C-alpha cells in the first residue's frame, strides 16, 4: 500500500513522533524514512512517497535530499528554495526586506578587518551570527572591540561559512521573543519565549507561554512565509522598542513541541491535513 505521507527525518524528536501519532489517529498511511539510510537513484522513477514532509535536522542533508526528491517529481514540504532561503540568515534578511517585512538592522562583512571596521563605525553592542545555524549556537553578543576581535578571530579559523560575518543590531525589547507556527497562510498558534538571558531559544532554557495572535502579526508572518516560499514554517519575531514587531528568523523545519504544549493546538494534525490538501 502506497504511503499518503512520508516523514523524512534524520533524528526522531517529539515533533516527528507527533506526526506519526496524528497519522494513526486520522487513519493516514504514514511512512517514516530515516534519511541516513536513504539512497536515491537519480536515473530512475522514484518510489511512491506520497507527499514528503521534510524534517531533517542536518541543513546539508535536508537540502540535498529535498533536491534529489524534487528533481524526480516528488512533492516535498518545504521545498528546496525554502530550505536554501530560510536556512541562511543573510538570504532570509534580504528577502524579508524585499517583501517589506520589518527586520533588525544588519551588516555582512567578508573578512575580520572589514567586520571590525564596520563595528567601529556603527558602534556596539551587536550580535554576530553564523549565516547557517540553529538553536542559538555560535551566536554571540559583541559588547566592545576586544570581545569582537577575539570572537571574529576564532571564526576566521573555522569552516568558510563561518568566515562570513553577519552582524545584527542588538534589539532593545522585552525579555522575550515570539515563535509563530504557520501552516499555509495562517498562524495556527504562537508562543512567547521568555528568558532572563538575551538568547530566548527553548534549547537554551527559554520558557514558553501562549501569545495572542494579532492581525498585524499574522499579516507580517504571511509575508515572511511567502518571501522564503514556505508552506509550513516557524516565524520568529521580536518586539522592538523602536520599530515594533520585527522578524529575525524563518525556520524551515520548525520545532513546535512547546507550542503544542502551552497552546493545546494539534499542530501535527494540521500539518498532515495541509500536506494532503496540497498534494491533491
Domain CATH for 151: 3.30.1490.20
What is the SS3 assignment for 20? helix
Determine, yes or no, domain membership for 259.
yes
What's the N-to-C CA distance of the chain in angstroms? 18
Would 120 be classed as within a structural domain? yes
Same domain, 261 and 181: yes
pLDDT by residue for the chain (280 residues), tens only, comes to 789 999 999 999 999 999 999 999 999 999 999 999 999 999 999 888 999 999 999 999 999 999 999 999 999 999 999 999 999 999 999 999 999 999 999 999 999 999 999 999 999 999 999 999 877 788 999 999 999 999 999 998 888 889 999 999 999 999 999 999 999 999 999 999 998 766 766 555 678 999 999 999 999 999 999 999 999 999 999 999 999 999 999 999 999 999 999 999 999 999 999 999 986 5
Cα 101 from Cα 107, distance rounded (Å): 17
Query: Are residues 161 and 184 part of one domain?
Result: no
Check whether residue 199 and residue 253 sit in a common domain.
yes
Three-state secondary-structure class, residue 127: strand
What per-residue confidence (pLDDT) applies to 133?
82
216 in any annotated domain: yes
Cα–Cα distance between 49 and 43 in angstroms, integer? 17
In this prediction, residue 280 carries a pLDDT of 56
Same domain as 116, residue 191: no
> CATH number of the domain that 221 lies in?
3.30.470.20
Question: Is residue 249 located within the same domain as residue 198?
Answer: yes
Per the domain annotation, does 256 fall within a domain?
yes
Domain shared by 116 and 178, yes or no? no
Given this model, what pLDDT does residue 2 score?
Answer: 86
- 9-48: per-residue pLDDT in tens? 999 999 999 999 999 999 999 999 999 999 999 999 988 8
| Predicted local confidence at residue 136, as pLDDT | 74
Cα–Cα distance measured from residue 22 to residue 266, given in angstroms and rounded to the nearest whole number:
8
Task: Report the pLDDT value the prediction gives residue 53, as an integer from 0 to 100.
Answer: 98
Q: What is the pLDDT of residue 5?
A: 97
- Domain end, chosen from 150, 169, 188, is at 169
Cβ distance 254 to 181 under 8 Å?
Answer: yes
Give the count of domains, the chain.
Answer: 2
Calpha distance 145→18 (Å, rounded) = 46
177/240 same-domain check: yes
Question: Which of 169, 189, 213 is the last residue in one of the domains?
Answer: 169
**Is 42 contained in some domain?**
no
Same domain, 153 and 112: yes
Cα–Cα distance for residue pair 233/224, rounded to 1 Å: 9
Identify whether residues 181 and 135 lie together within a single domain: no
Q: What is the pTM of this model?
A: 0.93
- Given 119, 140, 169, the domain boundary residue is 169
Range of the domain at 190: 172-265
- Gap between the Cα atoms of 236 and 60, Å rounded: 22
| 202 shares a domain with 120 | no
Task: Verify that 157 and 226 share a domain, yes or no.
Answer: no
Amino acid at each position: 500500500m502506497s504511503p499518503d505521507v512520508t516523514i523524512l527525518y534524520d533524528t526522531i524528536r517529539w515533533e516527528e513522533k507527533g506526526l506519526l501519532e496524528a497519522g494513526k489517529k486520522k487513519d493516514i498511511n504514514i511512512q517514516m524514512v530515516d534519511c541516513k539510510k536513504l539512497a536515491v537513484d537519480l536515473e530512475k522513477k522514484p518510489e511512491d512517497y506520497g507527499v514528503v514532509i521534510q524534517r531533517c535536522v542536518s541543513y546539508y542533508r535536508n537540502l540535498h535530499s529535498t533536491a534529489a526528491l524534487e528533481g524526480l517529481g516528488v512533492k516535498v514540504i518545504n521545498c528546496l528554495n525554502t530550505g536554501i532561503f530560510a536556512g541562511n540568515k543573510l538570504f532570509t534578511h534580504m528577502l524579508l526586506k524585499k517583501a517589506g517585512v520589518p527586520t533588525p538592522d544588519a551588516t555582512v562583512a567578508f573578512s575580520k578587518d572589514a567586520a571590525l571596521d564596520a563595528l567601529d563605525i556603527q558602534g556596539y553592542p551587536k550580535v554576530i551570527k553564523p549565516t547557517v545555524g540553529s538553536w542559538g549556537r555560535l551566536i554571540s553578543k559583541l559588547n566592545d572591540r576586544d570581545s569582537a576581535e577575539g570572537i571574529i578571530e576564532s571564526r576566521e579559523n573555522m569552516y568558510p561559512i563561518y568566515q562570513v560575518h553577519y552582524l545584527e543590531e542588538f534589539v532593545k525589547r522585552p525579555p522575550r521573543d515570539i515563535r509563530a507556527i504557520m501552516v499555509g497562510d495562517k498562524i495556527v498558534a504562537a508562543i512567547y519565549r521568555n528568558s532572563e538571558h538575551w538568547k530566548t531559544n527553548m534549547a537554551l532554557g527559554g520558557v514558553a507561554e501562549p501569545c495572542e495572535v494579532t492581525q498585524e502579526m499574522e499579516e507580517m508572518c504571511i509575508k515572511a512565509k511567502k518571501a522564503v516560499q514556505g508552506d509550513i514554517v516557524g516565524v520568529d519575531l521580536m518586539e522592538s522598542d523602536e520599530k515594533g514587531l520585527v522578524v529575525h528568523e524563518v525556520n524551515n523545519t520548525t520545532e513546535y513541541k512547546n507550542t503544542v504544549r502551552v497552546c493545546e493546538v494539534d499542530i501535527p494534525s494540521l500539518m498532515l491535513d495541509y500536506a494532503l490538501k496540497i498534494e491533491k
